Structure 1
Amino acid sequence: MLKVEVIPGRGIRNHFIEILLGMPINQAIIALHNASKHIQNVELTYSSQEPLTRDIIIRLVKDGIRFYFEPNSQLLRLIEIYDFSHIFLQYGGVVFSGPDDEADVNKVEKCFGATHPGVYVAEQNLYELSWKGLSFTFPTVSETSKFQASPVGSSGLGSLHYKRNSPPVLSKMTIYRGSHTLVRNPQISGTSLCGTVASVEVKAITDKKRIVGLFFTFVAEVPVVDESSPKQSFGPKKIERSIHFGDTTESVLSALGTPSKIFYTKADRMLIHRGEDSKKLRGPRPNYFFNYLSLGVDLLFDCITNRVQKFILHTNFPGHFDFGMCRESFLAAFCGDTSVQPVVLTRSGTDNPFGSTFCYGTDQVIVEVMDNGFIASVIIF
């Protein structure tokens, strides 16, 4: 059974996994995949028709945990534990809930301290105890418990009185940032940013109505001066870099750093449309990509010149073949060309359960669109 430490306002962790508020969804998916020996039966739910207005939810079915990701930033905003029959919870080294000894009001108050009154939700017969970044919900039964309201107006504050041998049992625990669960604009956590970067925006660089490169804005951790501490401190800083067509690998590495992966292409199946010229284009060395997963962008380099040929930007929408492989890229570009009829992109059914997508081509841009009308990727060449 899963055993985790509760970190109010931050997340949960144990010796093989750490899930923190502000974590990008692709990092969370990778962390769960790496912990598949201990965590099985993971579900992901999302709205295919309203992917930017409804949370993306990852549910650990067996362990009774839900992770809520804000759909635009795809950052973890809330953790909810709703089933306590298969999980151990501890705080400060003390286990306060287990499968055979689930938490109740007494155990929660003893572990976390009763520092202020709880809140009673009369419509649902629920009693809530909360601290900064953490709340507990208990169902109440009129036969065994009674709520005594605070004399301060209709604040809903007060205390819960119940029979000594039947304290209300915990039904839900929520971890969040700030003082309430409705925070909709999470910030990326410092732990998630450590050793990587977070994309803010990507803009097209144009010259005489032609796209000649991309301008990247991202956040990275850099050393900061902290005279009060002898240790080296780091803090987030917004950085701007530009990459142009024809830039060398050295220029790209200097601007964006080491890529997450390097991928070498296989034989281009579209060369058949070049006729006899295709023989001249085939060579012993393949072209290759620099995959910057935290920026949501791939850069294609020519194998002969080692210069940038193409940019591929990913939106990381759920319901697409590449979902979860990288962070989303925030692209701003204007395409003045009139779109032609789309080309259907079909991947092998055994590899892709999401069906075909549609590619619309302009002079310099190919836009891949999912069947719900949302953009999956943008190719600039």
Structure 2
Amino acid sequence: MLQPEREAMKGWRSLGGARNARRRGRAVRGLAGVAVVTLSLVLAGCGGDSDSGSEVADGGWDAIVDAANKEGEVVFYSSDSDSINAAVIEAFEKEYPDIKVNLVKAGPDLAAQVATEKQSGINSGDVLSTGFQDLVENKDWFLQLDDTVMPTLGEQTWPDNMVTDTWVAKYVQYLGVAWNTDVMDGEDLNTWADVLKPEFKGRLTLPDPRATSTNISWLDAISNVLGDEYVEQVSALQPKIEAGGSVPATQDVAAGAQDVSYPQSSMLVADLSSKGAPIAFKVLTDPLIQVPGQLAIFKESPNPNAARVFANFRVSPEGMSAVCIAAGPPGQTGFSAAFEEPVDGCYTAPEGEEVVQGDKNLTPEDERYLHIIGLLGLEPLTN
């Protein structure tokens, strides 16, 4: 079956801008007191169009902050882990106590749901945190960014590939391996070559590269740098291809159903290990494979001033420190800020290490996509 987000991709650029609608529906409480709803509930609770009644304040950043305090809330769509969301929201509300964050948890069908919302003329969200790069490149839906919208864009040193017209990198995660600590200590797992051990045959869970853009970008990067033969060696280990992606793959390892899983993210391991699960994480090198996540501001935003203040904080040094500390057990985070200045608690890449990125925007329509999934014996998902 075709993944919802892949289906939605077909229509993103053909859909025009949409009008404002008020967010309706009652939030439930979760994430240590943070107001949380699901995106599907937001859509179900919305009907018709209306103006938000708020405009971007004139007079510079101080005026925008004052106006944001009067708006009093920001609606945050996020696909990040519970631990990252909770840490960021706690840090933001401490800095801006008059602005409450209403968190809308987004699942793997985020892209399809956002497309449905926009098609329906609904504009409920203010800020979007996602891994779907193609989604946030829609200029009809997302605000053009510069340092008047987010001052931190002018205060930090941002590589060109970490800021575009419509999105800024919310973090850079370095991919690695997760293992069950009841089975091994992981000391000899340091490079991508190290995870091709014969004893992992039948004991490896591989998140389906067709499930998310992060996983397909890993497959693209690893085959580009280490060659198609590397992927063929992974396939020879007869991995379990986890259709649900990285989350159930880490759960397999934590439960002892499998010994190892890669490519993995430290934030998923952190959520499990913090609850006592026997699982650990390590960034793998030779090469370092990085994947930026995306943050964008909806162009038609119910709370345009609060949206700017929250987005700016989310990618500031203070916001990034909260992310990195929450994104991994102590000493195991694989997350760093997307700008060049060091940040407390964030991962620092070893000096001289090769750092690569894969293509997050590959789809079944691309020959490259078909080639690399074929190395694992996979075919495109179809209806």
Which TM-score band (shorter chain)?
under 0.3
Structure with higher strand content: 1
Structure with max Cα Rg: 1
Higher helix share: 2
**Higher RCO structure, 1 or 2 (CA under 8 Å, sep 6+):** 2
TM-score, with normalisation over the residues of structure 1?
0.21
